[in-house]
Amino acid sequence: MSQAAATPGWADSSHGLGRLIERLIGIGLLRRPLFFQARQLIIRTAERNGIPWRARRRELREAAAPLLATSATPGLVPPAYYVARFHAYEQGNLCWQAAAEAEQATDAMALRVWPEESLSPVVAQARLRDAIHRAVEPLLEGRLDRVLDLGCSVGVSTQALARWLNQRADARGDQRPELIGLDLSPDMLAVARVRDQDGLVEQWRHAAAEKTGLETGCCDLISLQFVCHELPQAATHAVLLESARLLRPGGALVMVDQDPASSVLQRLPAAVATLLKSTEPYIEQYFGLDMPAALEQAGFRNPRISACDPRHRVIACLR
């Protein structure tokens, strides 16, 4: 089946339900109450499921505020596509609310993967990340010196990588790898620094994933987790090219995101699809992109694609 044929019907705004959704979202007076409803629903559900959404938001905001200024690269102007409404935040990823709620939203996302089981947020998050790590493990050879987590947000993916890779290094008797988390949002990075109490991550870097400023061939492994659905296609191509530049020959890339072939996503109820689409401006471009072809074009080989859970696919490949 081609990539486009697998795209969920609701994600296509050229006709049918997708087109109707697009039109509704375009009307500010309808969008704002829709965003409000989406947020209320997400927060209520999360708190019912053991995620202390509002208390944690207060705590993280207070602790991160003093770190904000030192989390930004002076003069860095984000690309225009990045300054868009995302996830029901009018200022997208560039605001304290998005950053102080990202950990809770990431846990809520993990819980949604297995709705039939009453998992704790910690167990669901660990299960989600373990499946991603298992998919790339067979591609890793030898010692890993430097690992880069692109679009690290508040560091949930970065810390999970650090725990897994430190264990791997200890088991092999290697030196532990240096971990770098990179993101375009200083707010997210300030929260990441607060959350990284154990100092698992060497560097929290404020930069664009398509223009990292890092040296050619300096990385052994690059992770791109839940980032591409937030990018227009041109930006995804640019990020893949930059990743290929940064990886040493034989280095590995692991990416995970929504699985266009997931039957759960294909069958999302119209109301849920409407909310999802109203909060993800580039989701249609993501579903429309032939990712294996894009990877090959950027210089990667042998992409191994697998469903890592009922909603997501992981793609692991070599430079």
- Of the pair 119, 132, the CB lying nearest ligand SAM is at 132
Considering the complex, what minimum distance in angstroms separates the CB of residue 183 from ligand SAM?
Answer: 5
- Of the pair 143, 237, the CB lying nearest ligand SAM is at 237
Q: Which residues bind ligand SAM (CB under 6 A)?
A: 82, 93, 106, 151-153, 156-157, 183-185, 188, 208-210, 225-227, 230-231, 235
- Of the pair 19, 211, the CB lying nearest ligand SAM is at 211
Chain-centroid distance, C-alpha 90: 19
- Neighbour count for residue 23 (Cβ, 10 Å): 11
Where b means 16+ CB within 10 Å and e means fewer, 104-125 reads bbbbbbbbbbbeeeebebeebb
First to last CA, the chain: 26
Distance CA 244, CA 254 (A): 12
Considering the complex, what minimum distance in angstroms separates the CB of residue 268 from ligand SAM?
Answer: 18
Considering the complex, what minimum distance in angstroms separates the CB of residue 141 from ligand SAM?
Answer: 24
- Of the pair 43, 209, the CB lying nearest ligand SAM is at 209
Q: DSSP for 229-250?
A: GGS-HHHHHHHHHHHHHHEEEE
- Neighbour count for residue 280 (Cβ, 10 Å): 18
Distance CA 165, CA 181 (A): 14
Considering the complex, what minimum distance in angstroms separates the CB of residue 181 from ligand SAM?
Answer: 9
Q: Which residue is nearest to ligand SAM (CB)?
A: 151
- Of the pair 302, 306, the CB lying nearest ligand SAM is at 306
Nearest to 151 by CA among 3, 297, 282: 282
Distance CA 294, CA 121 (A): 34
- Of the pair 31, 229, the CB lying nearest ligand SAM is at 229
Considering the complex, what minimum distance in angstroms separates the CB of residue 19 from ligand SAM?
Answer: 26
Distance CA 218, CA 313 (A): 27
- Of the pair 113, 227, the CB lying nearest ligand SAM is at 227
Query: What is the strand order of the sheet 203-206 is part of?
Result: 203-206, 178-183, 146-150, 219-225, 247-258, 312-318, 301-307
- Of the pair 144, 209, the CB lying nearest ligand SAM is at 209
Considering the complex, what minimum distance in angstroms separates the CB of residue 16 from ligand SAM?
Answer: 27
SS3 130: helix
SS3 221: strand
Considering the complex, what minimum distance in angstroms separates the CB of residue 144 from ligand SAM?
Answer: 18
SS3 291: helix
Considering the complex, what minimum distance in angstroms separates the CB of residue 217 from ligand SAM?
Answer: 20
Distance CA 153, CA 169 (A): 25
